[in-house]
Structure 1
Amino acid sequence: MKKNKQSFPRRRQRGFTLVELMIALFLGILIIGALLTSLLSNKDSLRVSENLARMQENSRLALELMSRDIREAGENPCGAKLMANVIRSGGNIPWWASWGDGAIQGFSGATDTTSIVPFGTAEGLRVNGTAAILVLQAGAAESNVTAHNTGSTEITVMNASNFVAGDILMSCDLQGAAIFQAGTVDSATNVINYDSSTATLNCGNGLGYPTTVACTTTTLRQFSTTNGIVTKLVPTFWYIGNNSTGGRSLYRTQIARTVVGGATQITNNRDEILNNVVEMNLSYLKKNSTTETLATTWVDADDSELAVVAGGWGELNPNQVVAVRTEIKLQSEEVVSASNTKLERTLLFISSLRSRETLY
């Protein structure tokens, strides 16, 4: 008996409809877009974090260097207050040795420091309208006095290896101090000769206080072999200058000794310390040493009590600066914000002068 084959209907094979494809494509685009947005957002956040970290890391060292200079303004290893100065350039005391005008001197944005770093648009020149500060202090490398012959103008120290001919030096003991130039330095015998015939910046051979402004008379002064010390004079000028990329940076100027044609010359070294510093504001806290009154407000460098007519920034002015308030504005290196601009941060720090802690 022949069996009949039962026939079943063939299942119809179907693909995706156009609508389904479009929906799937749309959902895929949404997912990919969300992922891309998340990646870009994370990338932007990373760039912001990296720029902020870079700003903070770079600024920390720069601000510590500046703050340390300000704290040490007026410091000398002996704590001496009577400072003789025989340094003269063209008959005048140059800015880098003007201890009598103030071991710390502030300049407002309206004051052009022509003899130090003038206003200008060239690289390394000071940006017009920004504040600046000059600090004078004794250097870290020092050596004890073992002999001092005022007749032969020779100071013998324990170790003269840190000094060379032409250096601007400070010698001090408990009774006083002097700023002078070394004419010759013999590292074998540790003898420093400061005779004005070889030390051409010295207006005389006497290292005693006082030295007249015109240097017409100088007083012989023999430094103690018990507590006498010789060290370098370190002048530092902090300012905002134009950098090589067309932006602004925090600069530090220090003098350097160079030999040109056998003659010793003193030149400025302008070092870029921190880039992308667009502004710097400086203000000062005073205390009157006569009335023992500490000011209640910070003032800028143009304050009347710090003007030349009031005694300037020197020791003769009873209104002495005891602290400096520094505010700088930094910019990031890259454009990272949503408004297509650079990040900005303002940093503030206060430095008290160690040489004037007794005024508190």
Structure 2
Amino acid sequence: MKAMAKQSGLTLVELLIASTLGLILLLGVVQLFVSSSDSFRMAESIGRMQESGRLAQDVMGRTIRNADYWGCVRGSEVVSALDDGDSNYDEDKHSFDNPQALEFGVAPASGNFVAGSDTLILRGVSTVGISLDGAMNNSSAVLDVTSTAGISEDEILLLTDCSDAIIFQATGLPAGKKIQHNTGKGDASSGTPGNKKSGISWSCPSGGSANCFPKAFQSGDIYKAYSFSYYLEEDAATGRRSLKMETIGSNSAQEIVADVHDMQMQVGIGDAGDNVINSWLDVTNANLTTINSSYVKAVRISLLVRSPEDRVARQRQQVCFPAWTDCSLSANLWEPADANDRHYYRVYTSTYSIRNRLLNTGT
């Protein structure tokens, strides 16, 4: 009986104290979990934004650096046999008569374009290591070449002998290392316009074949022509914006990088034949005529990238965009229009030189 009398439980006060201490400890654990979760979400968002920014810079940077390459001729010496009267002819993709290698624009407030964002079209050719296998017959629709490896039917090609150059569509690849360039209607499935009989500065000889070129090339090299269009589009349902690209061989735009919220550009202008940039101009509607008629040697691109998830930042973000803005005054900082926007924003800016215009080649 005395042994049982010595045993006693917790008093109410002790129980309340223990419960309070337990609640404090639980609150600390929950707060630590929430803080860690928020930090993880922010780190993940920043990581994905960095990946998007770097990928966009890498894709566009390579094309900008290689733009305005036409083999051993200048762009002003290139003529086109593509049929500009065909329904599949697209001025942005197929304009290769004395081509404008870089063409800048500002997106309109129509369709799914991100109004006010800048657009860019880049043109040129790439090497495939194929040459004419002997002199061509100017009244024949077939070129004998050293190989057709790496070339597909309906591709847009360039033939040059370092004196003249012509852009044409490969309408067929007959057996025996041959490239066909027949005239006729384009192919809607590949979005190509086909070839025509005459061009701005040439026409077929009297009584000649409808498949002729400006001259009978005695020798020459074959290149692949390209045209890349870069712009931003917004999904009307989700408001999600992304960097899109269109090429010669595509009927629709391809999404390159998601969550690119805005894109602004500057161009460095100078004289041909040296590596000096005399001035920089913002790509705006007011400057487009000057820019697209000037000798652009470098392009500076500022990308505003947004985190995929909302409620990541603790307050509405303010960033210096585009990067060349004078942000010494807070009034010049960019911020989203929605006061409740809690996406995380970052700015990625790079400057790319156009290598074929910085060399003393006169191109």
Could you say which TM-score interval applies, normalised by the shorter chain?
0.7 to 0.9
Q: How does 1:60-99 map to 2 (within 5 A)?
A: 60-81=54-75, 82-90=77-85, 94-99=91-96
Tell me, in whole angstroms, the C-alpha distance in 2 between the residues paired with 1:252 and 1:36: 46
Q: Give 2:111's aligned amino acid.
A: G
Q: Secondary structure at the match of 1:129?
A: coil
**Candidates 165, 173, 182, aligned match of 1:177:** 165
Q: Which residue of 1 aligns with 2:245?
A: 252
Give the deviation of 1:275 after TM superposition.
0.9
Tell me, in whole angstroms, the C-alpha distance in 2 between the residues paired with 1:10 and 1:193: 108
1:120 equivalent to 2:108? Answer no
Q: Give 1:342's aligned amino acid.
A: H
What do residues 52-105 of structure 1 show as CA deviations (whole Å, max 9, x unaligned)? 112222332232111111111111233444111222322788321223351110
Give the deviation of 1:151 after TM superposition.
2.5
Residue 72 of structure 1 contacts residue 354 of structure 1 at CA under 8 Å; is this kept in 2? yes
Give the deviation of 1:179 after TM superposition.
0.9
Q: Give 2:234's aligned amino acid.
A: N
Tell me, in whole angstroms, the C-alpha distance in 2 between the residues paired with 1:152 and 1:10: 117
Q: Which residue of 2 aligns with 1:350?
A: 351
Q: How does 1:239-278 map to 2 (within 5 A)?
A: 239-243=231-235, 245-256=238-249, 268-278=251-261
Tell me, in whole angstroms, the C-alpha distance in 2 between the residues paired with 1:155 and 1:351: 37
Residue 80 of structure 1 contacts residue 173 of structure 1 at CA under 8 Å; is this kept in 2? no
Q: TM-score, normalised by structure 2?
A: 0.76
Give the deviation of 1:190 after TM superposition.
1.5
Give the deviation of 1:9 after TM superposition.
11
RMSD: 3.2
Q: Which residue of 1 aligns with 2:25?
A: 31
Tell me, in whole angstroms, the C-alpha distance in 1 between the residues paired with 2:17 and 2:41: 36
Q: How does 1:235-314 map to 2 (within 5 A)?
A: 235-243=227-235, 245-256=238-249, 268-289=251-272, 294-302=277-285, 304=287, 307=289, 313=292
> Are the structure 2 counterparts of residues 9 and 178 from structure 1 closer, same or farther at C-alpha, using a change threshold of 3 Å?
closer
Residue 55 of structure 2 contacts residue 257 of structure 2 at CA under 8 Å; is this kept in 1? no
Structure with more of its chain in strand, by fraction: 1
Residue 79 of structure 2 contacts residue 201 of structure 2 at CA under 8 Å; is this kept in 1? yes
**Candidates 321, 331, 336, aligned match of 2:296:** 321
Kindly tell me the number of residue pairs found equivalent between the two proteins.
315
Residue 52 of structure 2 contacts residue 305 of structure 2 at CA under 8 Å; is this kept in 1? no
Residue 173 of structure 2 contacts residue 179 of structure 2 at CA under 8 Å; is this kept in 1? yes
Q: Which residue of 2 aligns with 1:104?
A: 102
1:334 equivalent to 2:309? Answer yes
Q: Larger radius of gyration, structure 1 or 2?
A: 1
Tell me, in whole angstroms, the C-alpha distance in 2 between the residues paired with 1:61 and 1:75: 23
Tell me, in whole angstroms, the C-alpha distance in 1 between the residues paired with 2:196 and 2:123: 20
Residue 51 of structure 1 contacts residue 332 of structure 1 at CA under 8 Å; is this kept in 2? yes
1:42 equivalent to 2:36? Answer yes
> Are the structure 2 counterparts of residues 89 and 205 from structure 1 closer, same or farther at C-alpha, using a change threshold of 3 Å?
closer
Q: Which residue of 2 aligns with 1:58?
A: 52
Q: Which residue of 2 aligns with 1:136?
A: 123
Residue 138 of structure 2 contacts residue 213 of structure 2 at CA under 8 Å; is this kept in 1? no
Tell me, in whole angstroms, the C-alpha distance in 2 between the residues paired with 1:272 and 1:93: 20
Residue 313 of structure 2 contacts residue 344 of structure 2 at CA under 8 Å; is this kept in 1? yes
Q: Secondary structure at the match of 1:20?
A: helix
Give the deviation of 1:174 after TM superposition.
2.0
Tell me, in whole angstroms, the C-alpha distance in 1 between the residues paired with 2:68 and 2:3: 107
Give unmatched runs, 5+ long, in structure 1: 1-7, 113-118, 213-217, 257-266
1:149 equivalent to 2:132? Answer no
Q: How does 1:199-210 map to 2 (within 5 A)?
A: 201-204=194-197, 210=201
Q: Secondary structure at the match of 1:324?
A: strand
Tell me, in whole angstroms, the C-alpha distance in 2 between the residues paired with 1:277 and 1:87: 34
Give unmatched runs, 5+ long, in structure 2: 187-192, 204-211, 316-340
**Candidates 14, 17, 21, aligned match of 2:15:** 21
Tell me, in whole angstroms, the C-alpha distance in 1 between the residues paired with 2:116 and 2:81: 34
Identity %: 25
Give the deviation of 1:325 after TM superposition.
0.8
Q: Which residue of 2 aligns with 1:259?
A: none
What do residues 182-235 of structure 1 show as CA deviations (whole Å, max 9, x unaligned)? 23321x2212232435777323268xx9449xxxxx97323353xx21122111
Q: TM-score, normalised by structure 1?
A: 0.77
Tell me, in whole angstroms, the C-alpha distance in 2 between the residues paired with 1:180 and 1:237: 20
Tell me, in whole angstroms, the C-alpha distance in 2 between the residues paired with 1:297 and 1:274: 27
